[in-house]
Amino acid sequence: MNKKNILATALIAMVIFITSCSKSFLDVPPTNQGDANDFIKTAADAKIAINGISRKMISSSYYGRTFVLYGDAKGGDLTVFSQGRGLDNLYTFNHAPTSGSYGDIWSTLYDILLQINSLLQNIDKLISNGSTENFDVYKGQALTLRALIYFDLVRLYGEPYNENKSAYGVSNITTPIPVFSQPLRNTVEENYTQIIKDLTDAAPLLPKTKLNGYINYYGNKAILARVNLYMGNNAGALTAAEEVIGATSLYSLYSNANWVNSWKAQYGSESIFELAVLPTTGGDLGNASLGAYLRAQGRGGAAILGWFGASDYYLDRLKQDATDVRWGVMGPDERSTTPNPRLGACYKYSGGTDLSGDGKGVSTAVNIKVIRLSEMYLIAAEAALPTNKLKASNYLNEIRKRAPALTPSTETTVTLDMIIDEKSKELFGEGHRFFDMIRLNRSITFNDEYIGAAITHRAKTIDRTFFKTILPIAQSEINANPGLKAQQNPNYQ
């Protein structure tokens, strides 16, 4: 972990910018900077700390842009129109310890983890000292967010759980550590053990009510469903997903008539965990936002370069039904021609093709929907498939209805390919495809002919045997922590 980042975060400069937005997760009074040892004194302070953690999670390195693009650009659902516009090395796999390492993801996520660990330590200290304040919800949220962050980290830097769980994952750090500590990497199995523990410990602390902008009990269970699926624990994944699906008083699938406009709204009926992006708090990345990176070139301003667009392979899946409601968030890309435009630009994070945003008056400050109910149906379908094909088919069809011209699956026709393809169509632009393909040991083929330029850092088709499907530890981290040199990921040495 980079010393500079540890030192900066060890000071816990939790300056939170606040808005007066009604019912927003940032709708709390501001705080000044505080020392890590005495910042948290009350439950209100803990809430402010959670707000700061959530704000950090929408940084450009994490859910605000790069981490989400990582999943689709590397998964073959996105392509690039031209090399050199920005972040195209995600698509080309141009990674090395000294360049293109995306070390900012590592440092940002450990920065957040240090804030979480400081919060948890302070809560435990206050409780042990006899505080009568109720910190349960904030402790549960912090533990759940820590689990999510470690899950994201181990998927970036470790081998798949079902491939080699004894391989190096990432450093398990669960308490604040001295500034110049040099923690080494734990195994993938140890990472997942910690993730499950955090989720299990957190669940009984969390409310079963909807908390806009915050993790609740069902957000915890949704993450547990994801994690269990990646571990190959289908029974655990199904149980957790079905518990979320069963919370019908809080969550429901959008009708076909409402699906497109759901991207114009905040905290809708499918939103299980949504991170607020508010322009007044510095969270709006503007032309560097996720929404801007997925638009067509020049759409919304000259600085919009058309960084990423849908691949032919993704569009072929969507073309299975010309009436699929999900066409409604797609628009012409820069290669379009009339009268049959190529709808390769995605406007989920712009509030729709009209750039209306989601109610804030800024089309780039659209909330990030980290977990949606539709994903739970697709997890349930995949997890049920080996033992209960009828249940798998029923869950799949609830999402497949978004393509009304497609024949519904049945107990005898449902397949894993159908489920994974449906997940690609439903969660396009939300960062899942690459991680699904890698955990399932599927080959990924890239739409390289679309850009008309040679890709020298990977083959046209790869699978998880390709060493660059795992990121290298950045050289800057190794310089700060020499013990990591012997733990560098294979073939990056």
**What confidence tens digit (pLDDT) does each residue in 397-439 have?**
999 999 999 999 999 999 999 999 999 999 999 999 999 999 9
pLDDT tens-digit series, residues 480-491: 999 999 999 999
In 10 A of CB 465, how many CB atoms? 9
Residue 461: DSSP 8-state: E
Lookup result for tokens 């801007």: 292
The CA distance from 78 to 464, in Å, is: 18
Amino acid identity of residue 209, one-letter, is T
The DSSP secondary-structure symbol of 17 reads -
pLDDT at 282 (0 to 100): 81
**DSSP assignments along 343-364, one per residue:** --EE-GGGTSTT--TTSSS-TT
Q: Would you call 256 exposed, middle or buried from its count of C-beta atoms within 10 A (0-12, 13-18, 19+)?
A: middle
Which residues, in sequence order, are bridge partners of residue 215?
A: none
pLDDT at 62: 98
CA–CA separation, 159 vs 185, rounded Å?
A: 13
CATH architecture group of domain 1-206+466-493: Alpha Horseshoe (1.25)
Q: Mind giving me the DSSP string for 81-120?
A: SSTTSSSHHHHHT--BTTBS--HHHHHHHHHHHHHHHHHH
Provide the CB-side half-sphere exposure for 185 (13 A, CA).
Answer: 27
Rounded Cα distance between 202 and 106, Å, is 24
Query: Cα 306 to chain center, whole Å?
Result: 22
- Residue written as tokens 């900077």? 33
Point out which residues pair with 308 in neighbouring strands: 80
Tell me the C-alpha distance between 202 and 458, whole Å.
Answer: 41
pLDDT of residue 180: 84
pLDDT in tens, 171-192: 999 999 887 889 999 999 999 9
Tell me how far apart the alpha carbons of residues 493 and 490 are, in angstroms, rounded to a whole number.
7
Q: Quote the pLDDT of residue 23.
A: 34
Give the C-alpha separation, 78 to 433, whole Å.
10
Half-sphere exposure of 489 (CA within 13 A, CB side): 25
Quote the pLDDT of residue 164: 95
Structure-block tokens of residue 493: 């040495």
Provide the token pair at 338. Answer: 């009339």
- Write down the pLDDT at residue 84: 86
Domain boundaries, the chain: 1-206+466-493, 281-350
- pTM of the full structure: 0.93
Residues present in the chain in total: 493
What does the pLDDT read at residue 82? 87
Question: Would you say 330 and 349 are in contact if contact means Cβ atoms under 8 Å apart?
Answer: no
Please identify every stretch of the chain with a pLDDT value under 70, giving residue numbers as ranges. Answer: 1-38
